[in-house]
Amino acid sequence: MDPQPAAPSPYPSTERPPLRALIVEDSRVDAAVLIQLLRAGGWQVTHERVDRPESFRQALEHRPWDVILCDHTMPGFSAPEALEVLQGTALDIPFLIISGGIQEGVAIQAMKSGASDFIMKGALGRLVPAVERELRDAASRRARRQAEATLRESELRYRSVWENSTDAVLLLDLDPAAAALRLDRPLDRLESRGDDFRRRLREGYLREAAAQKNRFEIIDAAADMATVGARIRAAVERHGG
């Protein structure tokens, strides 16, 4: 009889990136089972097992972690206590509770308190998909925070340059059908230049520029009119006008 083909593995055939797993579990055997499942899921796992509040805090302080797998109830420690410790830090680490059997209401309360997921020890087939999902969500949160931080930094830098600049930024829309002049600086910041300066910009050099294609140029509000005109003509020539 021909041998039966092996059942396909539900896990990826290629290795995933390294995974740093903090296991909060008093049973060495149960911790070993979790590590084995993660490795079978394709991750190169480095881990540490702790089962006391002090060792948990030290582990959070001394090493970076990608995921925390925590038994719900242990002698002298529990998942709710561990979650409270984690939430007292600025760390964003997926926190999955592993339990041998508790009431549904307790599981719901744990999720409401901030646990990423709740997995029964009798249903550990959910472990790999759950970890994969939580790692992906954590990466998305990090990317969003980085984008927001970059935007804030850019806005602060722009604001600093803008508020301390002695120049006025003029955007000239040179489309003949929609010729317009906008001062990207409150007009009261140009009061010291005088109304005549602004009038001549609008009435004189805007007419000269309006016949050209869409361009924009930055012009020093302190420059004399000959310089302003030269800057506009130079901008037009650079673009082949």
31 and 112 fall within a common domain: yes
Domain that holds residue 89: 18-140
Rounded average pLDDT over 92-114: 85
Rounded average pLDDT over 68-92: 94
If DSSP codes are grouped into helix, strand and coil, which group holds residue 42? coil
Question: With 60 as the cut, is the pLDDT of residue 162 above it?
Answer: no
Handedness of CA 87, 38, 17, 25 (dihedral sign): positive
Q: What CA–CA distance (Å, rounded) separates 188 from 236?
A: 29
Longest dimension (CA), the chain: 101
pLDDT score, position 191: 41
49 and 135 fall within a common domain: yes
Task: For residue 69, give the CATH number of its domain.
Answer: 3.40.50.2300
pLDDT score, position 111: 83
pLDDT score, position 57: 97
29 and 124 fall within a common domain: yes
**Position with higher pLDDT, 67 vs 228:** 67
- Per the prediction, the chain carries an average pLDDT of 75
Q: What is the pLDDT of residues 32-67, one digit of tens each?
A: 999 999 999 999 999 999 999 999 999 999 999 999
Highest mean pLDDT among 6-15, 106-115, 142-151, 221-230: 142-151
229 and 180 fall within a common domain: yes
pLDDT interval class at 153 (50, 70, 90): confident
Q: Which amino acid is at 66?
A: D
Alpha carbon of residue 101 to chain centroid: 36
pLDDT score, position 154: 72
Q: What CA–CA distance (Å, rounded) separates 111 from 106?
A: 9
Q: How far apart are the first and last CA of the chain?
A: 84
Q: Which residues contact 216 (CB under 8 A, 6 or more apart)?
A: 171, 172, 173, 235
194 belongs to a structural domain: yes
DSSP assignment of 99-164, as one string? ES---HHHHHHHHHHT-SEEEEGGGGGGHHHHHHHHHHHHHHHHHHHHHHHHHHHHHHHHHHHHHH
162 belongs to a structural domain: no
Q: What is the pTM of this model?
A: 0.60
46 belongs to a structural domain: yes
* Number of domains observed in the structure of the chain: 2
136 and 194 fall within a common domain: no
Q: What CA–CA distance (Å, rounded) separates 206 from 211?
A: 9
Q: What CA–CA distance (Å, rounded) separates 202 from 239?
A: 22
210 belongs to a structural domain: yes
Q: What is the pLDDT of residues 180-220, one digit of tens each?
A: 344 444 434 444 444 565 565 555 555 554 554 444 454 55
Phi-psi region of 95 (alpha: psi -120 to 50; beta: other; left: phi over 0): beta
133 and 46 fall within a common domain: yes
For residues 100 and 119, the answer to whether their CB atoms sit within 8 Å is no
Boundary (domain end) residue, out of 90, 125, 140: 140
